Amino acid sequence: MIAEMGMAYETVKLLYSKAAWEVDNGVRRTSTSAIAKAMGADLAMKCTTDAVQVFGGYGYTKEYPVEKLMRDAKLMQIYEGTSQIQRLVIAKNLLVRR
Ligand SMILES: Cc1cc2nc3c(=O)[nH]c(=O)nc-3n(C[C@H](O)[C@H](O)[C@H](O)COP(=O)(O)OP(=O)(O)OC[C@H]3O[C@@H](n4cnc5c(N)ncnc54)[C@H](O)[C@@H]3O)c2cc1C
């Protein structure tokens, strides 16, 4: 689980870097940022859920910060474009491009 957290972190960092590079270089492709946002939110949710699991019963309590991190990760799937809406953007871009 720890290894997968590291893999997720590096993957999302690359996605965000690509989206930022495109903005900096005047490339207008909303699907890149939608992919970065959706994937980042989903992987944050997975990593924090796994973090609670690693902590066991303590992970569920407010004694340790991981339960709050898990709730905060959930928010990433909801605000500033829910994960479903990001997927609509991604699918639409794929269909239009073809
Ligand atoms: C802590 C917090 C802070 C926020 N801060 C801000 C802020 O600063 N500014 C601001 O403007 N808003 C803010 N919001 C609002 C946030 O952007 C909305 O909650 C978000 O856009 C989802 O809208 P909704 O809650 O109306 O859900 P709904 O639009 O009712 O959606 C409910 C569910 O249905 C899904 N859904 C909706 N349409 C489709 C579709 N076509 N296909 C598939 N699934 C669909 C959604 O993905 C979601 O899971 C905040 C929300 C929270 C919780």
82 lines ligand 1 (CB under 6 A): yes
Instruction: Specify the CATH superfamily of domain 2-97.
Output: Butyryl-CoA Dehydrogenase, subunit A, domain 3 (1.20.140.10)
Beta-strand ranges (E) seen in the chain are none
Asked whether the predicted pLDDT for residue 57 surpasses 80, the reply is: yes
Cα-to-centroid distance, 33 and ligand 1 (Å): 18
Closest residue by CA, ligand 1 atom 42: 84
Active site residues: 80
| Residue of 79, 85, 88 best suited for mutating to test ligand 1, as the one with most atoms within 8 Å of CB | 79
Predicted confidence at residue 38, as pLDDT, reads 98
Residues 6+ apart with CB under 8 A from 52: 59, 60, 66, 67, 70
**CB neighbour class for 34 (10 Å; exposed up to 12, middle 13-18, buried from 19):** buried
In this predicted model, what pLDDT tens digit does every residue of 8-33 receive, in sequence order? Answer: 999 999 999 999 999 999 999 999 99
Nearest residue to 46 via CA among 10, 15, 89, 5: 5
CA angle 49, 1, 5 (to 5 degrees): 75
Asked whether the predicted pLDDT for residue 3 surpasses 80, the reply is: yes
Asked whether the predicted pLDDT for residue 98 surpasses 70, the reply is: no
